[in-house]
Amino acid sequence: MFGITLDRSSARSATAQLCDQIRRLIEIGELERGTRLPSTRNLAKELGIARNVAIEAYEQLIAEGYLVGRIGSGTFVAEGITPGIGLRAADTREASGRTEAAAPAGQDAPRAGDGAGGLIRFDTGVPDLERFPRRRWARYLKEAAEEAEGRYDYRDVRGEEGLRREIAAFLHRSRGMRCDPDRIMIVNGSSEGFALVARTLKPQFDSVCLEDPTIEITGHIFLQSGYRIEPVPVDESGMRVHEIGTLPPGRLLVLTPSHQYPTGSILPIQRRLHAVQLAEEADAYIMEDDYDGDFRLKGVPIPPLYTLGPERVIYAGTFSKTLAPGLRLGFLVLPRSLAGKFAAFKEAANLRTPAVLQAALARFIRDGHLERHIYRMRAVYRTRRALLIEALNRHFGGRAVIRGDEAGMHLLVEFPDLDAAPEWSRSAEYGVVVDSVEDYCLQRGFRTRQIVLGYGNIREEDIEPGIERLSRFVRERG
């Protein structure tokens, strides 16, 4: 059917393979807009797969904007997807040409809340630190330190070759990205990656389009490097890039297309294609922040924007959410034209990441422990997400609208019927701490009734009492 075949021996799941091939058929124009796809029952029968696999693939592609579902009519290819963009991206993709890898440390960190007797914190951006595999990590760290021949000298400023190879292989397995390890640069967390982009490109660029709202550190980094900030509103489908007519000379774009923070929205394919087109026309670059792409809780991980424009997208990944922020390890995947420029800047600034840490992480990934940890944590976060949604529905009913809950470790809650928004920081007086979306806004006053609830580093038994406290606060102060 449509030439789709599934490789039963592949390390990629049947759902991921099916999504990949349908996307590809749409991108190259073989499945034209408005084309009606077979029912999930017929597709499953034709391909010899479980119907749930077909349903999950369709739901994933609907979320990404490739397909639309019409009740009573079926599933169709969406409008607004320009054929050919996928082919152009594929022509510039590079296979690494190297063998792919086969598919905790320090004191215990404090928990997110002290339970019923103390503050319960729905902090965002922090994974479950108690489940970080300390002992295994300590063993890999010890082995890397003991066998660190030459690692105590100055090393390749791009990072250890072994780690760059493992990251390239991991990105191929998990995201479908093909990238040469020579285009990967190891950094001390995504913040250093952002700073490196801002400083290296400053001679050519002087302003940046940022999502509004967005995490505040991004704006701070670019402001400190002398950039002018141009806020672009975010709606339920991510940054409104379609409202940007053209990119003026000297302007960058920063996007979190797979799970926007803090709204949780997913940038659909139509807007992704438009963003890449804007960058191509302006000879500019897009910085893609894939901060929590490993924790897709509904469907499979969404292909990065990088796959549509590898020569226009700087892909930023981090292990702070996947493993622990204390590791301070992240990476950039650079366009070929920028790899040398970034290496030269990093060398001149003498910016390096400890080689022993990199060697330990390379072995950790090679032996399959990163992916095992991700699988375990997806199950944990799915459970917490379900408990949080149940508690919100129980205490608020229709008075709370939940958004952006398909991935990551947080969701957004809106209270549209409040006469006036409470001062959210005062929720601590009721024993619960939440973040207001307004705190992440560049233009204030439009999201006063929205909050962000993180569930990465909170005990499951604290979720229900935490929401009960939030309910009392909203009822009495809203």
Q: Rounded CA gap, 44 and 39, in Å?
A: 8
Model pLDDT, residue 88: 45
SS3 307: helix
The tens digit of pLDDT for each residue in 89-133 reads: 444 333 333 333 333 333 333 344 445 458 999 999 889 999 999
Q: Does position 191 have pLDDT exceeding 50, yes or no?
A: yes
Of the options 3.90.1150.10, 3.90.600.10, 3.30.2290.10, 2.40.30.10, the CATH number for the domain spanning 115-132+372-477: 3.90.1150.10
Distance between CA atoms of residues 253 and 246, nearest Å:
12
Contact 478, 421 (CB under 8 A): yes
Please report which residue ranges of 73-215 form alpha helices under DSSP H.
85-92, 134-146, 161-175, 190-200
Amino acid identity of 191? S
DSSP β-ladder status, 330-333 and 313-318: antiparallel
Residue with tokens 């996007």: 255
* 283 has a pLDDT exceeding 80: yes
- Which pLDDT band, with edges at 50, 70 and 90, does 150 fall under? low
Query: Which of the residue ranges 107-116, 271-280, 311-320, 344-353 would you say has the lowest mean pLDDT?
Result: 107-116
Confidence (pLDDT) at 125: 84
The HSE-up count of residue 390 (CA atoms within 13 Å, CB side) is 10
Domain with CATH 1.10.10.10 in the chain: 14-83
Q: What is the mean pLDDT of residues 329-345?
A: 96
What pLDDT digit, counting tens, does each position of 362-381 carry? 999 999 999 999 999 999 99
- Mean pLDDT for 418-437 is 93
* 3 state SS of 208: strand
Fold of domain 134-368: Aspartate Aminotransferase; domain 2 (3.40.640)
pLDDT given at position 30? 84
Q: What is the pLDDT of residue 427?
A: 95
Q: Is 153 exposed, middle or buried (0-12, 13-18, 19+ CB in 10 A)?
A: exposed
pLDDT tens, 257-274? Answer: 998 999 999 999 999 999
Residue with tokens 């009492």: 465
Mean pLDDT of the 299-305 span: 78
Number of H helices, E strands in the chain: 13, 16
Whether the predicted model's global pTM rises above the 0.75 cut: yes
Determine the Cα–Cα distance for residues 269 and 65; give it in Å rounded to an integer: 5
Provide the β-strand partners of residue 286: 253, 313
* pLDDT for 21 beyond 50: yes
Percent of residues, the chain, with pLDDT higher than 70: 91
**Where are the domain boundaries for CATH 3.90.1150.10 in the chain?**
115-132+372-477
Q: How many residues does the chain have?
A: 478
Question: Where in the sequence of the chain do the CATH 3.40.640.10 domains occur?
Answer: 134-368
Q: Residue 261: which of 125, 165, 432, 414 has the closest Cα? A: 125
The string of pLDDT tens digits covering residues 47-86 is 889 999 999 999 899 988 999 998 888 999 998 887 765 4
The DSSP code sequence of 413-467 is: EE-TT-SS---GGGGGGGTEE-EEGGGG-SS-SS-TTEEEEE-TTS-HHHHHHHH
Architecture category of domain 14-83 in CATH: Orthogonal Bundle (1.10)
What is the chain's mean pLDDT, rounded? 88
Q: Residue 248: is its pLDDT beyond 80?
A: yes
pLDDT at 27: 87
Is 50 exceeded by the pLDDT of residue 275?
yes
**Which among 109, 164, 104 has a CA at the least distance from the CA of 139?**
104
User: Which residues, other chains included, contact 431 with Cβ-Cβ below 8 Å and sequence gap of 6+?
Assistant: 118, 119, 120, 469
39: burial class by Cβ within 10 Å (0-12, 13-18, 19+)? Answer: middle
Rg of the chain on CA atoms, in Å: 22
Mean pLDDT of all residues in 300-316: 90
Over residues 18-45, the mean pLDDT reads 89
